[in-house]
A and B are shown apart, each in its own frame.
Chain A
Amino acid sequence: MYEKKANRPRINNTVGLNQKLAELEVKLPWIERLDLVNKLAPLAPELAFQENQHLKAREKVLKQAKVTAGIERDAVHNDFKRELLFYRQAQAAVLEAIPRLKSMGIKTKRPEDYFAQMAKTDEHMQKIREKIVSKQLTEERMD
């Protein structure tokens, strides 16, 4: 029964979609929206290095586990590569938008003495710092 359903022709009403898009769009200056369409930022050398390190580490693990599928099919390494993709897209957005905002005469950076409520509490950030330190310690012990 499930296969039967999958064969059903799927709706893709492009005319209706385009019409709806035209209806939905609000003409507002970019500063109200802050949206961008980005390609990836060029791969920074330290990111390329990180990727290479991760590749080597995973290859080692796979070898030990006697997995023969190859690194291309390794889910963990592919996850890592995908995250890098998102990171580079965000980077491209920053490198495009910040100069654009500055050219409009808008301050972008928060001054050091400006305090306001943050998304994560200080307690939570303290926990994150502790976790990073403890992770570093265990890594040092391993070496």
Chain B
Amino acid sequence: KPKNVAKAKVSWTNKQRVLIFGCRGIGFRDRHLMDDLRTLMPHSRTDSKMQRKDTLFVVNEIAEMKNCNKCLLFEGRKGRKDLYLWASNIARGPSAKFLVENVHTMAELKMTGNCLKSSRPLLSFDKNFDAHPHLAVLRELFTQIFSVPNHHPKSQPFFDHVYTFTVVDDKIWFRNYQILTEEDGSLAEIGPRFVLNPIKVFESSFCGQTLWENPKYVTPTAHRSMMKRMKAGKYRDNVQ
């Protein structure tokens, strides 16, 4: 009998599985970002690209077929210029949509750190996540998605990297650092890096009532046209 107890102790109970995949029409850097996440997350599954004509609601069925209860879906728009990310708790929700900005992948040579392929990351959030209800929801969602389950068969039993989620300018900044020395906490960045600009939080998975929307969100197209107008103004002043 004691043998069974020991076995139960190391059993893998937290069966989170994350489906990571993209729609057609995402750029090369975005695809690399997606692959980086797949490398770092042994509890992820993939699927072939989604057809654009499919409605997003189909994702729920795909995830269920793949036995996944979480999903990260990348969506490219405007000729691969803009990247959107959906993070969702399948079936029951909530889900959230982000605009992804400032993408840097693990392949960049300026990121000098390295870690085991599937070791479990520490997740660090800053205090701001407690200040707003929508950020508290996102924090829980990110924790369940990015945390590698304990004793996952493909995971490594050592701790050599940290993810940080920080809210600056109402956006969520993601970083991944290698732990160089445990005693003084010196680090080296591994990558990838990205900034998530939250757009909306929905009640259900890829559908349902909107629970929160970002008052400061400007679509990238509106932003570009604003920049263009500002530039145009510069020359108009020259003529007068």
Interface residues of A (CB under 8 A from B): 2, 10-14, 16-18, 20-21, 23-26, 28, 31-39, 41, 44, 82, 85-87, 89-95, 97-98, 101, 107-110, 114, 116-120, 124-125, 127-128, 131-132
B237 on the A face (CB < 8 A): no
Quick check: which of B23-31, B49-57, B144-152 contacts chain A, the rest being far away?
B144-152
Q: Please state if A90 and B175 are interface contacts (CB–CB under 8 Å).
A: yes
Which chain A residue has the least Cβ–Cβ distance from B112? Answer: A128
Query: Most B CB atoms within 10 A — which of A11, A25, A118, A119?
Result: A119
Chain B residues within an 8 Å CB radius of A86:
164, 166, 173, 175
- Residues A36 and B124 in contact in the complex (CB < 8 Å), given A16-B203, A109-B158, A124-B107: yes
Which chain A residue has the least Cβ–Cβ distance from B92? Answer: A23
- Residues A34 and B109 in contact in the complex (CB < 8 Å), given A10-B214, A86-B175, A108-B158: no
B76 on the A face (CB < 8 A): no
Q: Please state if B133 and A93 are interface contacts (CB–CB under 8 Å).
A: no
Q: Please state if A116 and B156 are interface contacts (CB–CB under 8 Å).
A: yes
B126 on the A face (CB < 8 A): yes
B34 on the A face (CB < 8 A): no
- Residues A38 and B156 in contact in the complex (CB < 8 Å), given A12-B212, A16-B211, A21-B140: no
Q: Please state if B116 and A36 are interface contacts (CB–CB under 8 Å).
A: no
Q: Please state if A17 and B159 are interface contacts (CB–CB under 8 Å).
A: no
Query: Most A CB atoms within 10 A — which of B109, B147, B210?
Result: B109
Q: Please state if A119 and B14 are interface contacts (CB–CB under 8 Å).
A: no
Bound Cα distance from A32 to B149, whole angstroms: 6
Q: Please state if B187 and A18 are interface contacts (CB–CB under 8 Å).
A: no
Chain B residues within an 8 Å CB radius of A114:
158
Which chain B residue has the least Cβ–Cβ distance from A93? Answer: B124
Distance in angstroms from B188 CB to nearest chain A CB is 10
Q: Please state if B211 and A20 are interface contacts (CB–CB under 8 Å).
A: yes
Bound Cα distance from A129 to B24, whole angstroms: 35
B197 on the A face (CB < 8 A): no
- The contact string, 1 if C-beta is below 8 Å from chain A, for chain B 198-212, is 000101000001111
Q: Please state if B182 and A90 are interface contacts (CB–CB under 8 Å).
A: no
Bound Cα distance from A109 to B157, whole angstroms: 9
Distance in angstroms from B113 CB to nearest chain A CB is 8
Which chain A residue has the least Cβ–Cβ distance from B14? Answer: A32
Chain A residues within an 8 Å CB radius of B107:
124
